[in-house]
Structure 1
Amino acid sequence: MRLGIRANLAQFSLLVAVNALVGGMLGQERTVLPLLAEQTFHLTGYTFLLTYVLAFGLTKAATNYFAGTWSDRFGRKPVLLAGWLIALPVPLLLIWAPSWAWVIVANVLLGINQGLTWSTTVIMKIDLAGPERRGLAMGLNEAAGYVAVAATALATGYLAAQHGLRPAPFLLGLSYAALGLGLSVFAVRETRDHAHLEAAQHERRGELTDREVFTRTSLTEPALSSASQAGMVNNLNDGLAWGLFPILFSTAGLSVARIGILAALYPAVWGLGQLVTGPLSDRWGRKQLITAGMLVQAAALAVIAAASSFTVWASAAVLLGIGTAMVYPTLLASIGDVAHPAWRARAVGVYRLWRDGGFAIGAILAGMIADVWGVRAAVWVVAAVTAFSGLVVALRMYETHPRRTGTLPRGTR
């Protein structure tokens, strides 16, 4: 047994493919569900419309935490399998939903599915990759997931335009769930022993309790807590894009097909960009990419708030994707740098708890502001919050990549 992407290429590549299916489960909703809320269920209040994002964000955030703890206790593969089993009823609920309550239930299950499966594929790739190429590993993982989000958003937009909002778009999600479960049962192997191998190469240190891991990752350790707040704000942005952007574009008179293009463009650039930014963080370090990425996202959101044409929105979506790509794999890599292998899975779980809590906070914040002052005002507020988050990283976070610092990160000592 050895550490490294090349030494574990077959299993690593399989996990990349599995995470693409995880992303596809999320992508089935991005174009169609806001339109379904407005056109089929006739929801008018933005806050109520965003309840599905709130339900998803709360359950995914909580499940992320337990996924890390359970991965340490029971192993990675059982958690992955549980996540895929929970995914199976999601597209069926969306196809048959007679009321919005069914959609909320589907998004609760989707949040649990995403928390268990995406968290576990992240942990398993960190286990396999070892310390030197963590940025590349996270870039490949997140690229696979978000390219699949984009491709599925585009495909469901096309299917909805040709065949209606239901059932055709959600049949893709059903096929993803079946294939993901099959691969996880028959092909994915346990990786927890790789984490034990890396832990043996570190200085010996006492095990941390769950409470100590939570406190360190959330508040007291500068790099871990800075990453947690930046991740939360990043997904606050994504919750805004998921829930309100299609409505903003629709009120400007764009067709369903064009809304599908815009809904796909941002995660496509985000996903593909991580193939570049993940390895760059191994070369340049983590801090500067995270800081710059948050500021680029803020600028892109400001352009979206001010614009009113497809061309400008498309350019801003590309810019938003670039900024998110700079941040997303780099934050995960920084968590892997600082957290000791003995408690790293739990630290990833806590980080993802805060990060995906951003969906819920974004749904509440954006929905309330949109109800009172309109969608554009909500986008302006989130742009300001994102810029402030970037400044927090610039002032508080230290560089975490061991090759850049020449020492072990503080959290591993």
Structure 2
Amino acid sequence: MLLVAVNALVGGTLGQERTVLPLLADQVFHLDLYTSALTYIVAFGLAKAGTNYFAGTLSDRYGRKPVLIAGWLIAIPVPLLLIFGPSWEWIVAANVVLGISQGLTWSTTVMMKMDLVGPQRRGLAMGFNEAAGYLGVAGAALATGYIAATSGLRPGPFLLGAVFIALGLGLSVVFVRETHHHAKVEAANHVARHANAGASLSNRQVFTLTSFRDKSLSSVSQAGLVNNLNDGLAWGLFPILFAAAGLSIERIGILAAVYPAVWGAGQLITGGLSDRIGRKWLIVGGMLVQAVALVMVGVGHSFGFWLAAAVLLGAGTSMVYPTLLAAIGDVAHPEWRARSVGIYRLWRDGGFAIGALLSGLLADAFGIPTAVLVVAALTAASGAVVAVRMRGTDYEAGVAAPPR
């Protein structure tokens, strides 16, 4: 539960941007092209994705706690850059730093919970972890929306982020304890069903297994990428779409908060549910629900309709997010599970950058509604890939998968 609280602060550190930065790009820096305005999401996504890859290796080599603390230390300059940045390049730089920090802190809290719980409760643990993180995102998005409406876009909203960073660093240094030894004990007692799926795999072998060769791991990786692709779209373009329709900053803040709030709270249910009914069809269903919600955003014109779409988008994402992480933990051997999680998160958070770039280009060429509808089609197609390619429950509950 301490790690749940820490991850809520990690989410809050990210949530300080969700409502404010798109408006900052539009109203303060007067960026004309959507593609230019979304450069901060591209920077964040690439930085976080790359750091995720190294977080697993670093946590195996040096332990989980030092990596977690390093992530918080790196986050310290982010609010200062966002508050005092005189040009858009400073905002982009802040998001590079934030991406590195998030890659270390969020990845490590995931690994530490996997260390602490057995395979029968892995989905539940991931549900708690991701629920805390995205409720933190939602709470910060809502709070910063109200702060921005009453005191301006800077500096007030980002002072809240500074408080989150201070609390997260303090809790991690003083109270969080190392968990790597739990993974070592699990690895020593782990019996793989196939001899070539054991512990002694190189980083390159783990990468190719997670990304391409193993049907379940690769299906999960592409679904994670597409999930965050549509989240990058929601983060960068939804507030601009809502503002263009004449919604107030307060209402934009509500819509920016409802989506991650439903996403976060829903994971308290869906994480444990995936332990009981399996991962595959929860992932497929969640991707299809997200696709329907995105279509609603693309064709909508009113606050009430968009509010319903935000609820549905959050519900679909909650079905997918903890389940994907739990599926990685099911298949990967405990000895290389942290590396596999890092590689999955490399692909998943690369979706932020791809989504921001793709949706920005489409929005510049055809308008935001068309960009939303194209991403809806990609999301539905991703669910179909999981339905066709991912194995069912044969390899769940901690059984390592054979390379294929």
Same fold (TM over 0.5): yes
Q: Residues of 1 paired with 2:38 and 2:310: CA distance?
A: 21
The answer to whether structure 1 residue 257 and structure 2 residue 250 are counterparts is yes
- Matches of 1:86 and 1:366, distance apart in 2: 29
- C-alpha deviation, 1:169, in angstroms: 0.5
Q: Distance in 2 between matches of 1:271 and 1:79?
A: 24
CA displacement at 1:206 relative to structure 2: 4.5
Q: Quick one: distance in 1 between partners of 2:319 and 2:30?
A: 37
**How big is the shift at 1:207?**
0.8
CA–CA distance in structure 1, aligned partners of residues 221 and 191 of structure 2: 25
Aligned to 1:374: 367
2:229 paired with 1:241? no
- Residues 32 and 156 in structure 1, CA contact (< 8 A), matched pair in contact too: yes
1:61 to 44, 49, 54: 49
Supply the distance in 2 between the matched residues of 1:217 and 1:39 (Cα, whole angstroms): 42
Are 1:410 and 2:392 matched, yes or no?
no
Aligned AA (2:4):
V
Cα-to-partner distance string for 1:181-207 (whole Å, 9 max, x where unaligned): 111111111100000111111127341
**Residue number in structure 1 paired with 2:99:** 111
Relative to 1, partners in 2 of residues 1:162 and 1:206: Cα closer, same or farther, differing over 3 Å? Answer: closer
1:65-84 map, 5 Å: 65-84=53-72
Post-superposition offset of 1:338? 0.3
Rounded to whole Å, the distance in 2 between the matches of 1:161 and 1:144 is: 26
Deviation string, structure 1 residues 210-244 (Cα, Å, up to 9, x no partner): 00000000000000000000000000010000000
The answer to whether the 8 A contact 2:199-2:334 is kept is: no
Q: Deviations over 1:104-135 (max 9, x none)?
A: 11000000010000000000000001111000
Give the equivalent residue in structure 1 for 2:314: 321
Measure the CA separation in 1 of the matches of 2:44 and 2:104.
Answer: 13
The answer for unaligned runs of 5 or more in structure 1 is: 1-12
The reply on whether 1:136 has 2:124 as its aligned counterpart is yes
One-letter identity of the residue aligned with 2:107: S
Partner of 2:195: none
For 2:199 and 2:128, how far apart are their aligned partners in 1? 32
Say whether 1:266 aligns with 2:259.
Answer: yes
Tell me the equivalent position of 1:196: 184
Query: Is the contact made by 2:145 and 2:253 (CA closer than 8 Å) also made in structure 1?
Result: yes
**How does 1:134-173 map onto structure 2 within 5 Å?**
134-173=122-161
Cα deviation, residue 412, structure 1: 9.6
Give the 3 Å change call, closer, same or farther, for CA 81–105 of structure 1 in structure 2.
Answer: same
Distance apart, 1:410 and its partner CA: 2.2
The corresponding residue for 1:288 is 281
Please state if 1:394 is matched with 2:387. Answer: yes
Give the conservation status (yes or no) of the 8 Å contact 1:23–1:144: yes
Cα deviation code 1:318-339 (max 9, x no counterpart): 0000000000000000000000
For residue 399 of structure 2, what is the amino acid of its counterpart?
A: L
Contact 1:218 1:350 in 2 (8 A): yes
Are residue 26 (structure 1) and residue 14 (structure 2) matched? yes
Gaps of 5+ in 2: 193-197
Q: TM-score scaled by structure 2? A: 0.97
Asked if the contact 2:9–2:136 (Cα under 8 Å) also holds between the matched residues in 1, the reply is: yes
Q: Residue type of the partner of 2:77?
A: P
Matched, 1:177 2:170: no
Q: Are 2:326 and 1:333 aligned? A: yes
Q: CA deviation at 1:409?
A: 4.6
Corresponding pairs, count = 399
Secondary structure of the 1:356 match is helix
TM-score (norm 1): 0.95
Answer yes or no: is 1:311 the counterpart of 2:299: no
* Paired residues of 2:332 and 2:399 also in contact (CA < 8 A): no
8 Å contact 1:57–1:359 — kept in the other structure? yes
Residue 299 of structure 1: how far off its partner (Å): 0.5
| CA distance in 2 between partners of 1:134 and 1:237 (Å) | 26
Conserved 8 A contact 2:9-2:164: yes
Shift in Å, 1:403: 6.6
- The two structures, once aligned, show a CA RMSD in angstroms of 1.3
Structure 1 residues 237 and 89, CA gap change in structure 2 (3 angstroms): same
**Residue pair 2:199, 2:335 contacting (<8 A) in 1 also:** no
d(CA) in 2 for partners of 1:410, 1:93: 44
CA distance in 2, matches of 1:127, 1:409: 16
Specify the alignment match of 2:346 in structure 1: 353
Supply the AA of the counterpart residue of 1:349: G
**What is the deviation of 1:400?**
4.0
